Amino acid sequence: MSPTYEKTSTSPVNIAVIKYWGKRDTALILPTNSSLSVTLSQEHLRSKTTIRASPDFEKTRLWLNGVEETDLTKNKRLQNCLRETRRLREEHEKKLCKEIGTENVVPLSKYNVHICSENNFPTAAGLASSASGFACLVYTLAQLYELPVSTTELSKIARQGSGSACRSLFGGFVAWEMGSQVDGSDSQAIQIAPKDYWPELEALICVVSDAKKGTSSTEGMQNTFTTSPLLQHRIKHVVPERMKSMTEAILKRDFQQFAEITMRDSNQFHAVCLDTFPPIFYLNDVSRAIIRVITEYNTCSESGKLKAAYTFDAGPNAVIYTLRENVPEIINIIAKFFPGDVENGKEYFTDPYQLFSGS
Ligand code: PMV
């Protein structure tokens, strides 16, 4: 039997505070606006991927959460990531062959791979599973192939798996610059500040529903792009200014500015979904109840300052950004309004929706 080469890695989820929604090129996954996110810790939400390469493998295979995907030719996004990383490996092998001799270089680029990926949280439920999943795939391939490339360079490949995945390659605060080139060579992720730049910032995740979302982000954003006049306004007149103000808020560690833009941008994202024809609804009654609770909490704050910011992706689950000092208070409030088994930790509440509907 020939030797097998194997690498395993994990990747975190990121939650956007300036949302990406709309593609100007669907094949290369080039966005119609820049976006900005916070990468969460891997404690509760992460993808884990193991990739093996061997000359004995007859075909490339993929298992997602233990279930094998049978026809990989249909999975264009996976093919994009495999093709691009293999291309870089081929270039690397050619260089190595010249330097150390062909007999000393393993032709990994020619081997089929077996990919085994799992999430420790619900997949495709609006909790950014495709972001952590594709970031993990590309990062693990880069490790396996020992690619001598920067994280920003890798982000351009992860982007072709799932747009938001490019941001999960970095920790902390990350911008995805939309770029202007037609080949996507400048549509990439950059780190604005590392995680420890603002250690007081916390993200609380309220799992309202772990069901798979009704409209995928791919389908949803394409429909919005072709039918929503509000999206055109957002792209031209709102996001460019917001990217600047949000970057500034993060660099100043200004929670007021951060919180206001986060909530406004989440609201506008769901407004463009509603402006899509036919409309798309990602929020449900519990999501809207969470918005009301957080709004009330901010209105009643003694200092008159914003203490929490909600944001929702393409699903009903809420992410609440706040400063560490407010975490116990917010967990208490959520537990009161959505009573039940609230895990007494950071970042995660267990299914308040079921508990809510039962109360
Ligand atoms: O990368 P996708 O195709 O899963 O799209 C993600 C879109 C949002 O999560 C709604 C916004 C974002 O910027 O992450």
Written as six digits, the tokens of 334 are: 């959520």
- Asked whether 187 and 159 are in contact (CB, 8 A), the reply is yes
For position 340, what pLDDT does the model report? 53
Q: Is the CB of 313 under 6 A from ligand 1?
A: yes
Which residues of the chain register pLDDT less than 50? 341-359
CA of 96 to the centre of ligand 1 (A): 38
Q: How many angstroms does the Cα of residue 20 sit away from the middle of ligand 1?
A: 6
**What integer pLDDT is reported at residue 129 of this predicted model?**
79
| Rounded CA separation 118/271 (Å) | 33
pLDDT at res. 125? 58
Domain made up of 201-358: CATH architecture = 2-Layer Sandwich (3.30)
130 lines ligand 1 (CB under 6 A): yes
Give the pLDDT score at 214: 81
Class of domain 5-196: alpha beta
Q: What is the pLDDT of residue 337?
A: 87
Tell me the best of 11, 13, 15, 20 to mutate to test the pocket of ligand 1, counting ligand atoms within 8 Å of each CB and taking the most: 20
Instruction: Note the pLDDT of residue 123.
Output: 65
Question: How far is the C-alpha of 164 from the C-alpha of 133, rounded, in Å?
Answer: 10
The boundaries of every CATH 3.30.70.890 domain in the chain are 201-358
In the chain, residues under CATH classification 3.30.230.10 are 5-196
pLDDT score at 1 = 77
pLDDT digits (tens, 9 = 90+) for 258-289: 999 999 999 999 999 999 999 999 999 999 99
CB of 188 shorter than 6 A to ligand 1 = no
pLDDT of residue 342: 46
pLDDT at site 120: 86
Which of 168, 217, 281 to mutate for ligand 1's pocket (most ligand atoms within 8 Å of CB)? 217
